[in-house]
Structure 1
Amino acid sequence: MRDQRAEAWITDFARALRALKERTPHSYETLAVRVGVSRSALHRYCSGQAVPAEFGTVQLLARQCGADRGELTELHRSWVLASESIGHVPARAPIAEPEGGAPAAATCAGRERAQPDDGRRSHRGAWLTVAAAVLGAVALVTVLTGKRTGGEEVAVAADGRPLFSGECREPVHTGQQDACVREVQELLAGTGAGVEVDGIFGLETRRRVEAFQVRAGLSVDGIVGDATKRALYDGSLSLTTWTPERVADRVREVFTQAPDTAVRIARCQSFLDPLYILPNTDATRNWGVFQISDARLRDLRGSPADALDPEWNIRAAHRLWSQNKDFHHWPACLAAIEDEGGADGGEGSGP
């Protein structure tokens, strides 16, 4: 059985694939043909039931869905974690190509092979790797000890806030991996956000940062700049929200004519996470339990803060459902449910 960490990595990877898929008007079948896999395989990847053995498959899908270089980089990191968690030994596949040439990773590999391996080079490389790791560990400890020890470390973060120390003065952002990220995660965890404190600024940390920024009334960019740092240290905001079980129960209470389908749609959209946020390529976002888009929020006269309130989000989704008594506003998840034969048999199931 998969452990919790493995499940989290696979879930994170599947969410990222689903977010890409939902950017496009294409069906699973159409994308599968373009990527060169079976429709069922693509669906398993997007639902977290399986992980592609080769990153090339993920790269093709990402390009079909218009992913940019930054998203592809994050997707590769997520794929590596997911693959290793189920026993794959993924190659560190190239994820970007330099202008006018072969992929950068392949070019570097070619240069390494062209050089003689006389044993001394290998020994020196191993020593340098160990030295770098030790120095990195020392640097990370130094950042966080600024608020805990005396001497020079305190002078770096004299007010006891490491995010304003010399090491963490720059904004903390996606892709960063250090003690500054860990400090952000610890502060978020203190708000009840339910974020893993691992020092890696991945998609889940970014979503929690954005949810915090919404609650704090700040500009929502997923970057921990000075305003967000100050709000985190203020400690007055809470991100405590409903559990997935409570969300599912409430969805069933509101969607009385199609309770099971509604819960499955919500689980497909957000894993029943009220604070779930997904970005779109046009800089808009989808929010909350039923992933209500910015455009739809305007139609519903709501705000991102409203959409992160599970009660408001569920009732707003029911208003959308009530227009035609179907789930056509969530076509990708509806198609996946119907493919599995899992839709309710009543009015809510749709044709």
Structure 2
Amino acid sequence: MIDAARDRVPQAATAGEFVVALRDVRRRSGLTYREISRRASAAGHWLPPSTLATMLGRNTLPRERTVVALLAACGTPAADIERWVGLRREIDARLSEPARWEDEQTPPASTSAEPDSTHRTPGDPHPVSRPARRRLRMGALALVGALTVGALLPRGEAATSASATACPLVLRQGMYGPCVLDLQERLAASGLRVPVDGWFGPDTTSRVIAFQAMVGLSVSGTVDQPVLDALSRDPVLPVMWPENRVSISLRETFAQDPAEAVRVARCLSGLDPLRVEVMTDGSRRWGLFQFSDMELSRRGVDSRTALDAGWNIAAARDVWSRTGDFGHWHCPPAP
């Protein structure tokens, strides 16, 4: 439930801190990206889920209208929205000050010859002044710092860094930072429950594989531009069965031994129909009863089908009916 009273204007001094505060508003609202988009539209704003994901995934100052749309959708009072907008304008003004100051401090071009104030190379008709060279060097150093700071920061600081770091071309398990956080928020907005903590761990890998399978992409567990493009298109994915529905279906299907059916499925997948486990040899196991790649091939089904809870339970029932027990799965009872 939205607690608008808590969405007070933060003490943000930089664009990055401002965006972090907006992320916090979104998280505390409890709304998905789709829900925020629908609420914003109802309030007369335009805020597609992809635009929202992009805005919250960067550390640059967002547009004023998108800030207003997000806050309005999350139930922030009008008076507080005005103060948010005022803060954004203050930050924007501060960001513009260095450029103006530099322009004012740059001396006018001299008409007298000053051999040591410029650098001229043979054949170069455009000499570069010392102040210009200094600005170029500072800009290059700032760019290098922005590209490397995400890798150098400790885990707890990487996700909230105010520097606008460029995301790698491929995201994979073991990475950490704002780019992974953006990915996780996009997955969550698509209906795939995943920890939104900025760490690309096994849970995120599982969800990436499930997403790739369901939208027909190559199943790799890594995230490249085609995956991000698919997420930006706001794909319509099958509704994930909640745990109580899974439990009821298991008990009905395995009426002869309902408690054991639930226990085994919980042991294998945590009753998560979209759970995908990657084995040490690179093979994968799919869904509630963790059917292997080889088992899917033998049954003539694809990975998308394997993630369908109804199919997975029916296939497990078929195995159980032939063996008479759950010995096919290695899931010993808890001591």
2:304: which partner in 1? 305
CA drift at 1:221:
1.2
What does residue range 189-200 of structure 1 map to in structure 2 within 5 Å?
Answer: 189-200=188-199
Q: What is the distance in 1 between the residues matched to 2:61 and 2:191?
A: 22
Report the residue type matching 2:303 in the other structure.
Answer: P
In structure 1, the partner of 2:167 is 168
For 1:145, give the aligned amino acid: N
**Structure 1 residue 239 displacement after superposition:** 5.5
1:148 equivalent in structure 2 = 62
Hey, what's the Cα distance between the residues in 1 that align with 2:287 and 2:257?
A: 20
Q: Structure 1 residue 185 and structure 2 residue 99: aligned?
A: no
Structure 1 runs of 4+ aligned residues shifted over 2 Å read: 140-143, 149-152, 237-240
What is the aligned-residue identity percentage? Answer: 39
Report the Cα offset of residue 166 of structure 1: 6.6
Deviation, 1:240, is 3.3
Kept after mapping to 1: 8 A contact 2:57/2:182: no
Change (3 A) 1:178 1:195: same
Look up the match of 2:25. none
| 8 Å CA contact 2:250, 2:313 repeated in 1 | yes
Q: 1:221 to 1:280 in 2, by over 3 A?
A: same
Equivalent position of 2:254 in the other structure: 255
- What CA distance in whole angstroms lies between the structure 2 residues aligned with 1:199 and 1:313? 31
Q: Tell whether 2:290 aligns with 1:291.
A: yes
Measured in 1, the distance between the counterparts of 2:312 and 2:59 equals 42
Task: Please give the per-residue CA displacement for 1:215-236, whole angstroms capped at 9, x wherever unaligned.
Answer: 1111111111011010011112
How far off its partner does 1:306 sit? 0.9
* SS, match of residue 224 in structure 1: coil
Task: From the superposition, tell whether residues 147 and 196 of structure 1 become closer, same or farther in structure 2 (CA, over 3 Å).
Answer: farther
Match of 1:240 in 2: 239
Relative distance call for 1:308 and 1:143 in structure 2 (3 A) is closer
Task: State the Cα deviation string for residues 7-45 of structure 1 (Å, max 9, x = none).
Answer: xxxxxxxxxxxxxxxxxxxxxxxxxxxxxxxxxxxxxxx
Contact persistence 1:181–1:201 (CA under 8 A): yes
Residues 189-338 of structure 1: pairs in structure 2 closer than 5 A: 189-238=188-237, 240-330=239-329, 332-333=330-331, 336-337=332-333
CA distance in 1, matches of 2:212, 2:61: 25
TM normalised by structure 2 equals 0.52
Give the direction of change, closer, same or farther, for the CA distance of 1:175–1:236 in structure 2 (3 Å limit).
same
Q: Which amino acid aligns with 1:144?
A: R
TM-score, normalised by the number of residues in structure 1: 0.50
Query: Cα gap change, 1:302/1:253 in structure 2, threshold over 3 Å: closer, same or farther?
Result: same
- In the TM superposition, residue 241 of structure 1 has moved relative to its aligned partner by 0.3
Q: 2: distance between equivalents of 1:250 and 1:314?
A: 8
C-alpha distance in structure 1 between counterparts of 2:254 and 2:237, whole Å: 28
Report the alpha carbon displacement of residue 146 of structure 1 after superposing the two structures with TM: 4.0
Give the distance between the partners of 2:194 and 2:239, measured in 1 at CA.
Answer: 11
Count of residues in Structure 1 that have an aligned counterpart in Structure 2: 192
Alpha-carbon displacement from aligned partner over 1:246-295 (angstroms, at most 9, x marks no partner): 10110111112211111111000001000111011222100000111111
Letter in 1 for 2:323: N
Q: Give the secondary structure class of the aligned counterpart of 2:58.
A: helix
Matched to 2:216, the amino acid is G
Q: Unaligned 5+ residue runs, structure 2?
A: 1-13, 21-55, 65-91, 96-142, 144-163
Give me the whole-angstrom Cα distance separating, in 1, the residues matched to 2:206 and 2:327.
26
Structure 1 stretches lacking a partner, 5+ long? 1-134, 157-164, 341-351
State the AA in 2 paired with 1:222.
G
Which amino acid counterpart does residue 182 of structure 2 have in structure 1?
Answer: E
Contact 1:193–1:240 (8 Å) recurs in 2: no
CA distance in 1, matches of 2:58, 2:248: 42
1:149 Cα deviation after fit: 4.4
Q: Output the CA distance in 1 between the equivalents of 2:171 and 2:60.
A: 18
Structure 1 vs Structure 2 CA RMSD = 3.0
